[in-house]
Structure 1
């Protein structure tokens, strides 16, 4: 059991570690996305650097990592909800602290969405609507992501999902908000980048 768990966690972590934003930017633009915009490898910065189409592609790929993480977990432990969640978390850990990026990475939002879509789709639909409204009104993706993360465990609970899913949602909330610490500082200081930024400057 322990060997199977470690193997499943390792596979999920490696899937999460794939830096799609970096790979797509190098393939399409021939640039290191970490040197532009916010310096993040996620979909928002991919949008700033490469445009809407590539931003959506990176978002879908990062969501896919979380979805595949849960798929791997269910393949190893189809009747063990707690172990499924534990393995799923490792995809998010991989995205945030990628083996291929010297244990740095993104904020974990899209990968968390991929994990949760396969566990609590109704709750995530509500969170997505709230996220979209906040981004549309404020133009701050980070603010929408932070507030959305805070809503995740609440909505999972309100949708009468298992308690272990609520706990998992709380863990994801902590991961995402912790990963947004630099964004929180910029939001408080009024220097956070907006989604409508038209000119991408090289990161200082």
Structure 2
């Protein structure tokens, strides 16, 4: 019963649509109708600027980290991983937005932060290098997500964490399908360009 309660709380926490709330109640618009239409941190930066973008990013990361800490406290590594996945599911398929949501990158990073901060450091470094080289946030996110299982293996992370990285990478890449299509067609906006 405790496990189910942790998973439910984690999903609901992940479901909080941070960018939507900030845009609606602080800026007076629906972020789903601006920029890329996504409710993630990248579109928050694009449509609201640095301050609100950083606030959205920070909260979306915490939406991943808090469930991991809660899950670990109640049930150890396996529940920590499941709670992290529940939070990601909430962010991607929010109950508050008719089961629509973001791409899950920041929330997955928050989960990764709670599970394996050293691996997150290297994934972030790779994300940053790809971003500096290409100016594509989506490409950077997909590459960083795909690198996570490899990083866990190289750092000898425990099995539950490795399995998390496989599932999280698959979700993130799947959620980036529209971006990948635009990248292949040469129509994906770069940092500083309008979508």
TM norm structure 2: 0.96
Is 1:75 matched with 2:69? Answer: no
How much does 1:143 deviate? 0.3
Give deviations 1:59-113, integer Å, cap 9, x for gaps: 1110000011112212321xx3212211221000000000000001000000000
Alignment length (residue pairs) = 195
Partner of residue 24, structure 2: 26
Moved over 3 A (4+): none
Matches of 1:146 and 1:88, distance apart in 2: 19
Which structure is higher in helix share? 2
How much does 1:156 deviate? 1.0
Matches of 1:86 and 1:61, distance apart in 2: 20
The unaligned stretches of length 5 or more in structure 1 are: none
Partner of residue 11, structure 1: 9
Q: Secondary structure at the match of 2:148?
A: helix
TM norm structure 1: 0.92
Out of 75, 80, 87, the residue aligned to residue 84 of structure 1 is 80
The unaligned stretches of length 5 or more in structure 2 are: none
Matches of 1:56 and 1:157, distance apart in 2: 31
> Relative CO higher for 1 or 2, CA cutoff 8 Å, sep ≥ 6?
1
